[in-house]
Amino acid sequence: MDPTPQSHSKSSRSNGLIMGLAIGLGAFCFLGTIGGAVGYMQVERTKKQARAGWNLVPVIVANQDIAEDTVLSFDMLSQRPIPEQFVTSSVIKPDSANYIIGQKITVPVQAGDPLLWSQFETSKATNCSVCDWIDRAAKDCSEARRKAEEAKNATPEPRKGPLQKFREAKEETAR
């Protein structure tokens, strides 16, 4: 018996086994990569669907914990986008941030909390352009009422007809 064919047979079985394992491992890695990619795309699609219709709007938030009765400065504020559905007229937006600078906050606020108009003293809110417009309109109304009352209480001058006006003009030129 020749030992060569038997050892050749063993080595070809080893090579076949190694080749089979390599192909299996390669297939496993390939399928794992495909599965991972499909899973990632599914997660991204789900996130996109969950956010559909959720337009983000920037609002003013505290960038640090702020104690009650603290006067605010710009370095205490930041902005963060939040879903539009949660933004009401009571939430302070970035274009109105300058109205709260120098104002005293009446409640403690944690870092990241959106700031609300109701959290501030109202006595200093007169630097608001809408408030100024309302104040001017109220003063104008008061002035108009005062003038109307004066006119109502005033004694009217007697009415002059055209003949009376002609005589007065003639007398005036004669002087």
Domain count for the chain, please give it: 3
Q: Is residue 161 in some structural domain?
A: no
Tens digits of residue pLDDT in 71-109? 999 999 999 999 888 899 999 999 999 899 999 999 999
Sign of the Cα pseudo-torsion (120, 121, 124, 129, in order): positive
**Is residue 166 a part of any domain in this protein?**
no
From the centroid of its chain, how far is CA 115?
11
pLDDT band at residue 129, thresholds of 50, 70 and 90?
low
**Residue 173 falls inside a structural domain:** no
The answer to whether residue 81 is domain-embedded is: yes
Cα separation of 133 and 114, whole Å? 28
Most confident of 8-17, 58-67, 159-168: 58-67
169 in a domain, yes or no?
no
Query: pLDDT band at 130, cuts 50/70/90?
Result: low
Shared domain check, 44 and 62: no
87 and 136 inside one domain: no
pLDDT confidence tier of residue 10, bands split at 50, 70 and 90: low
Candidate from 5-9, 37-41, 150-154 with smallest mean pLDDT: 5-9
Q: What residues contact residue 76 under an 8 Å CB cut-off, 6+ apart? A: 62, 63, 64, 66, 70
Structural domain of 147: 125-154
Q: What pLDDT does 69 receive?
A: 92
Indicate the pLDDT class of residue 125, thresholds 50, 70 and 90: very low
CA 148 to chain centre: 46
pLDDT at position 55 over 60: yes
Q: How far apart are CA 107 and CA 72, in angstroms?
A: 12
The answer to whether residue 100 sits within a structural domain is yes
**Do 81 and 95 belong together in one domain?**
yes
Looking at per-residue pLDDT, the higher value among 129 and 29 belongs to 29
CATH code assigned at 119: 3.90.1210.10
DSSP for 102-136 reads: TPBBSS-B-TTPBPBGGGB-STTGGG-HHHHHHHH
pLDDT bucket at 124, cuts 50 / 70 / 90: very low
Q: Are residues 83 and 115 in the same domain?
A: yes
By C-alpha distance, which of 115, 105, 110 is closest to 70? Answer: 105
CB atoms within 10 A of CB 1: 5
Residues 60 and 117 in one domain: yes
Asked if 13 and 42 sit in the same domain, the reply is yes
Please check whether residues 94 and 115 belong to one and the same domain. Answer: yes
